[in-house]
A and B are shown apart, each in its own frame.
Chain A
Amino acid sequence: MKKQSIITGTLAFLLLMLMPMLAFAQEAGGGFDALVNKIFHTVLGPFVSLIFFSVSINGVSFPLIVAWLLIAAVVLSIKFEFVQFKGVKHSIDLLRGAYSDPDNPGEVSHFQALCTALSGTVGLGNIAGVAVAISLGGPGATFWMIIAGLFGMAAKFTECTLAVKYRNEYPDGTVSGGPMYYLSKGMSDKGKPRLGKAMGVFFAVMCIFGAMGGGNMFQGNQAHQMFSNTFGLFVGSGWLFGLILAILVGLVIIGGIKSIAKVTDKIVPFMAILYVGTALIILLVNIAQIPAAIGVVLAGAFAPKAIAGGIVGVLIQGLKRAAFSNEAGVGSAAIAHAAVRTKEPLTEGYVAMLGPFIDTVIICTMTAMVIVITGAYNIEGLSGVALTSSAFQSVFPWFGTLLAGAVLLFAFSTMISWSYYGLKCWTYLFGESKGSEISYKVIFCIFVVIGCSASLGPVIDFSDAAIFAMSITNVIGLYMFMGELKVDMKDYQARLASGEIKRYK
């Protein structure tokens, strides 16, 4: 207990030291921001353009990295015989504990593993990302988003199974896993240890950048914007908002203060249910208009009017947002799923593939349908969170406040999840010592403050690029391992059919 308070104290002190600097940065009209922006732009600009290298189709730029993820998802779907459709019943059986040994209770359940992984992906992408897709690609983008989500399930299935199969287990019973481990261990089994190590290190480095950026600064930044716009608090004092947020994050990840994590763990699912519930009520009230709305979506998907690039333009917007939202093929959720104790790696794959379904096919579609049915997408000049907010508010005027709260909480839980992904990559690179863990966590908290205090466009671009760069080596790994995984899957299915894998309820 005493050690905890020392750590928390040190953290608070560090953040206090940062305060004047950030306050200065604000007053100087972004002197600090401008410097950071300049560094990122000149040094890392070429990297961002490389990752998001786009080809122009019908006048719409199409980032090749999105095609990279989508092609992988389609190939894996075919390779695993559309496990995302055939295996769904088994996934749900696993989730409700039908295959959990009742004489060995108290381990992490499949349900918990899925929720932990979901808390890292459900968030701004489901609320703001969908609105962006619709405002740029029209209602038809929803259709392509759903298609991309369904294929993405196969990619999630593959990466999470591999993460469990090749994780490290330590004598004290704790585990570490994720793409960096299956890339290096698995490739070394295939006789290419140096290539595997290089791929693993590349993944880990990109994941740390992604965790600091998209999983941290971007979240804090958006939460602050939403909060100050809705409540008129912390306007122009983002650093103070960031400091409070950083202390809360620090208390959870450094201090191990369970109560805060417990509070958010209780409220986040509540918020998610409230969000989906409100969307459902809006849809039910307008049930007569649903066929027409589906018509609008389908018409927009195949024969869009007045959308830049026509059908290709719609397709691209849908695919892009689905990839941003569910991260299938990126390898992030695989790190969370690797922490589960199970004898059969495939069970984790079956459960994990429900992630993109819940994230993209259910929650994103809800948001999209509300935006379409309320006609909010026809209002000029609205995009992102503002569009979603206006769509919901046209039915429930109080929704803006709730949404601001939801965005803040989703941002917080996404930060906690990504801090873990980054941490696992950090310890993969620098060793699993207490000291190295603490230094990572302190740096993470400092980035919370930086993210909230400034509008760092190029930094955000870079962190998006880093998250997608993770998929470069990860997807290569998925292709290299899909053969052996197919053999494992056949073996697993045979043992399931023969009853060798016991069903308890």
Chain B
Amino acid sequence: MSETILVGIDGTEENRRAVDYAIKQAKRSKAKLILAYVIKWSPYTFQTAEENERRHKHREEDIQFVHERVMDPMLDSLASEGLEITGLVRHGQVADSLIYLAKKHDATEIVVGRIGDKSVKTLIFGSVVAKLIQLSHIPVTIVP
């Protein structure tokens, strides 16, 4: 059975290095590649009724926006690599969602860039990367 590498995508310059690294890895081990973009979303925030009413529409728009701006251009640029690449976009908390997708698609490794999040919230609640390392059931590679 061939291996599957899951790469977290956020559309930043720094993130591109993680993608390049994953491609090198995938070529070496003839692995499949899954690019996953997580749109930050929590089911426990408070919303007005008007936001609730439009939520479905906004959700579709968010997903389409990410496909057009980030995912599709990236898939196009990688088309010549000769690898089997799938792009996924979903809502949720970043670490939880990446782990969920990794389990669902039987991934053997998760690759993410170091996310330059230095807010107070990160100090209190820990970063996405830290959470990923603690919760993951498979090896996690962090590309600086």
Q: Residues of A with Cβ closer than 8 Å to B?
A: 97, 100, 102-103, 105-109, 111-113, 115-117, 119-120, 172-176, 252-253, 261, 265-266, 268-269, 335-336, 339-341, 416-417, 420-421
Q: Is A175's CB under 8 angstroms from B53's CB?
A: yes
Q: Is A102's CB under 8 angstroms from B56's CB?
A: no
B65 on interface, CB distance cutoff 8 Å: no
Q: Is B62's CB under 8 angstroms from A106's CB?
A: yes
Q: Is B47's CB under 8 angstroms from A108's CB?
A: yes
A97-B43, A106-B90, A112-B45 are known contacts. Are A339 and B52 too (CB-CB below 8 A)?
A: yes
Most-contacted residue by chain B among A116, A119, A252, A265 (CB, 10 A): A116
Most-contacted residue by chain A among B45, B57, B100 (CB, 10 A): B45
Q: Is A172's CB under 8 angstroms from B47's CB?
A: no
Q: Is B100's CB under 8 angstroms from A112's CB?
A: no
Other than the known A115-B46, A175-B53, A340-B52, what 18 A-B pairs have Cβ atoms closer than 8 Å?
A100-B43, A103-B104, A105-B92, A106-B55, A106-B92, A107-B56, A111-B44, A112-B52, A120-B49, A172-B57, A173-B60, A253-B50, A261-B51, A265-B45, A268-B46, A339-B53, A339-B55, A341-B55
* Chain A residues in 8 Å Cβ range of B53: 174-176, 339
Contact of A106 among B41, B49, B100 (CB under 8 A): B41
The closest CB in chain B to the CB of A110 belongs to: B43
A102-B100, A109-B43, A111-B43 are known contacts. Are A116 and B91 too (CB-CB below 8 A)?
A: no
- A117 and B47 CA atoms in complex are apart in Å by 10
B54 on interface, CB distance cutoff 8 Å: yes
Nearest CB in chain A: distance from B60 CB, A: 7
Q: Is A106's CB under 8 angstroms from B46's CB?
A: no
Q: Is B57's CB under 8 angstroms from A106's CB?
A: no
Interface residues on B, range: 20 to 34
- A173 and B57 CA atoms in complex are apart in Å by 5
Q: Is A109's CB under 8 angstroms from B44's CB?
A: yes
- A115 and B63 CA atoms in complex are apart in Å by 25
Q: Is A105's CB under 8 angstroms from B47's CB?
A: no
- A111 and B92 CA atoms in complex are apart in Å by 15
* Chain A residues in 8 Å Cβ range of B57: 172-174
Q: Is B46's CB under 8 angstroms from A107's CB?
A: no
A105-B92, A173-B57 are known contacts. Are A116 and B43 too (CB-CB below 8 A)?
A: no
- A97 and B48 CA atoms in complex are apart in Å by 20
Nearest CB in chain B: distance from A255 CB, A: 12
Q: Is the interface of B mostly helix, strand, loop or mixed?
A: helix
The closest CB in chain B to the CB of A335 belongs to: B49
Most-contacted residue by chain A among B43, B45, B52 (CB, 10 A): B52
- A117 and B48 CA atoms in complex are apart in Å by 9
* Chain B residues in 8 Å Cβ range of A106: 39, 41, 55, 59, 62-63, 90-92
- A39 and B13 CA atoms in complex are apart in Å by 66
Q: Is A341's CB under 8 angstroms from B43's CB?
A: no
Q: Is A420's CB under 8 angstroms from B46's CB?
A: no
Contact of B55 among A108, A176, A261, A265 (CB under 8 A): A108
Q: Is the interface of A mostly helix, strand, loop or mixed?
A: helix
Nearest CB in chain A: distance from B65 CB, A: 13
* Chain A residues in 8 Å Cβ range of B104: 103
* Chain B residues in 8 Å Cβ range of A421: 49
Mask: chain B, 10-51; 1 = CB below 8 Å from A; 0 = not = 000000000000000000000000000001010111111111
The closest CB in chain A to the CB of B38 belongs to: A105
The closest CB in chain A to the CB of B43 belongs to: A109
Mask: chain B, 47-90; 1 = CB below 8 Å from A; 0 = not = 11111111111011011000000000000000000000000001
Contact of A174 among B43, B56, B91, B92 (CB under 8 A): B56
The closest CB in chain A to the CB of B57 belongs to: A173
Q: Is B46's CB under 8 angstroms from A266's CB?
A: yes
Q: Is B55's CB under 8 angstroms from A116's CB?
A: no
- A175 and B55 CA atoms in complex are apart in Å by 10
Nearest CB in chain B: distance from A345 CB, A: 16
10 pairs from A and B in contact (CB 8 Å cutoff): A97-B43, A111-B44, A115-B46, A120-B49, A253-B50, A266-B46, A336-B52, A339-B49, A341-B55, A417-B48
- A172 and B54 CA atoms in complex are apart in Å by 9
Contact of A116 among B49, B54, B62 (CB under 8 A): B49
- A105 and B91 CA atoms in complex are apart in Å by 6
A107-B59, A174-B56 are known contacts. Are A116 and B47 too (CB-CB below 8 A)?
A: yes
Q: Is A416's CB under 8 angstroms from B39's CB?
A: no
The closest CB in chain A to the CB of B62 belongs to: A106
- A340 and B44 CA atoms in complex are apart in Å by 14
Closest 8 CB pairs of A and B: A106-B91, A109-B43, A265-B46, A173-B56, A339-B53, A420-B49, A339-B52, A173-B57
Nearest CB in chain A: distance from B44 CB, A: 6
